[in-house]
Structure 1
Amino acid sequence: MMTTIAPVLALPLSYTPPPKVRIQFRVLREGEVTSGPKFVRLYRSWLTISQVAMAFCTGEGDGRGTNDLTQAYNVDVATLLAQGEWLACGVDDAPPRKTRAVYLTISDSGVLTYNITSGEGSGGGASAEITARVRVDGVLAEREVVFVEKPSNGQFRIAGYGPAQDGESVVELKVTDGLVYAVALDDWGTVFQPNLSVAEGQVIRPTVMLGWLYRVTQSGQLPAVEPAWWDESLQGPQPLGTARAEVVRYYRPQAHGPQPVELI
């Protein structure tokens, strides 16, 4: 007697690819498009400078705007958010060779402009300092503050910038002979990405901005489909996938000034 054994078919496991952003660089030299290849390399820190995390390169170019863009990378949003600041090093080997290193925070898709500059002709002036103090709804809050100076020649320049840590901190400036204005920037948040893992305190921005942001109060994963966002009429933490979040208002940049500065 023969027994027939029916084959067992293995069903494929469901897989949801992690949300990604597409990033690309437009690389300039001293604010201008120039010919010759240029490089931007991203590292996790100075301690891992021997390990390139991502590398971008432009084409040869013709000095008139052709090939000033690098190739694009698709990167997991979770990787970008977990890293926070990346060490970005730009290199242009055309004589005289120039290089520049800055810290970048990347969370959204887009073309990032990277200017390889020695800083000559900018950033000069007398050393000064000013106290940056930011309140949101009357409560001290950490936000970025940019200080803009209008010198006597009428050409605006950046005098300095920095975070108001814990709502209040001293920011170092470089000033000439002009008036200084302060511009405070609210947290713009991270744009909604399906199935994105989020942590408590993180701010999420809808893909269509209507003036509201959503601060995560309980870590978890965003839903696969963007929800119907709520406004301030619905108070308290609400379900957002497996996470929970509360609505917060987005405040447009606020400017104040002229502001007195203290020379040091």
Structure 2
Amino acid sequence: MTVAVPSYRAVVPGYVVPPRASLRFRLLREGEVTTTVKCLRLYRSRESMDYLPMVFWAENGNGEHTQTCAVDLATLLAQGEWLAMGFDDALPRRIRTVYLSLTESGLYTFNITSGEGGGQQGDPGQVSGLVRVERLPANREIVLVERPADGVWRLAGYGPTPGGSGDIDVRVVGGDVYAMAVDDYGVQFVADLAVQVGQRIRPTQYSGWVYEITQAGQLPSVEPVWWAAAGENPSRPLGTALAVAHRYFQPIALGPGPVEVI
């Protein structure tokens, strides 16, 4: 006699599946596509390398694209930077370790390189960065690019301006150096996302404003009617969280400017 056994699935009333991000990597070797097996491991920090949160691999014969991994988006944002270690055991073996900032779903490229043969790196130097927003000191990321005599633009360096100022290390080859201050564009609105104090959220349709979380909570299930800063600009409810409106300032570039060669 065959007995039919009904299947059951536990349902928790009111439970909402948290938003997830889909991550996939394109793994290169020395900037080129190869067909050998490659592996990318993501750790939370150097001190916790005995625990491996995520691993991606590209199979033999493909060697370029990894599988897709779904990650809790709030966890991804709360982590900030991940310690990424890429391997290619094809002779001569290659390994590369860097920190990666992952904030949304996407296909990311990771180049496993020896770091050799990078060409002229330039002379070490420093640039003093000073940022004001509406006449007040502001912490911004400053990116410096250089146009040498051959006309080929290159990245000279980048760094923050905590408290509105900071010295940024650069590498220069004698060209003109330009600086660009970049505002925090935030993370695009995702329904039901758990957010922490200090995170910035931007509307799905850019409106000139971003919204900084002042009290942790969960974003609403439906995108709200966004608001502009007015009066004393108090925090307003954003789901169960609170947020304050900030104007998003487009990147501003200056230069060429002086570089103190060390």
* TM-score, length basis structure 2: 0.88
Residue of structure 2 equivalent to 1:244: 242
Residue equivalent to 1:201? 198
Q: Report 1:135-154 matches (<5 A).
A: 135-154=132-151
Partners of 2:210 and 2:86 in 1: CA distance:
34
Q: What is the deviation of 1:175?
A: 0.9
Please report the RMSD computed on the Cα atoms of aligned residues, expressed in angstroms: 2.0
The residue number in structure 1 matching 2:7 is none
Structure 1 partner of 2:155: 158
Distance 1:242-1:12 versus aligned 2 partners, 3 A rule = closer
The reply to whether residue 44 of structure 1 matches residue 44 of structure 2 is: yes
Name segments (4+ residues, structure 1) moved above 4 Å.
none
Question: Who is 2:218 aligned against?
Answer: 221
Among residues 82, 94, 99, which one is paired with 1:103 in the alignment?
A: 99
Q: How does 1:250-261 map to 2 (within 5 A)?
A: 250-261=248-259
How many angstroms does 1:260 deviate by? 0.6
Cα distance in 1, alignment partners of residues 252 and 32 from structure 2: 30
**What one-letter code is carried by the residue in structure 2 that aligns with 1:263?**
V
Contact kept in structure 1, 2:145 and 2:154, CA below 8 Å: yes
Greater displacement, 19-28 / 235-244:
235-244
Q: Check 1:123–1:212 CA distance in 2 against 1; reply closer, same or farther (3 A cut).
A: farther
Deviations 1:149-189 (A, max 9, x none): 11112111111111122221111111112111112211011
1:71-94 per-residue CA deviation (whole Å, 9 max, x = no partner) reads 111111121122221101111222
Aligned to 1:23: 23
Distance change in 2, residues 1:117/1:254 (3 Å): farther
Instruction: Please tell me the residue identity of whatever aligns with 2:105.
Output: S
Q: Note closer, same or farther for the CA distance 1:187–1:260 as it changes in structure 2 (3 Å cut).
A: same
For the residue of structure 2 that corresponds to 1:201, the secondary structure is coil
Q: Percent identity?
A: 49
Alignment partner of 1:182 out of 167, 171, 179 = 179
TM-score by length of 1: 0.88
Partner residue of 2:170 out of 173, 180, 190: 173
Q: How does 1:73-112 map to 2 (within 5 A)?
A: 73-112=69-108
> For this pair of structures, how many residues does the alignment match?
251
Unaligned stretches of 5+ residues in structure 2: 1-9
SS in 2 for 1:257: strand
Residue 134 of structure 1 corresponds to which residue in structure 2? 131
**Could you say which residue in structure 1 is the equivalent of 2:4?**
none
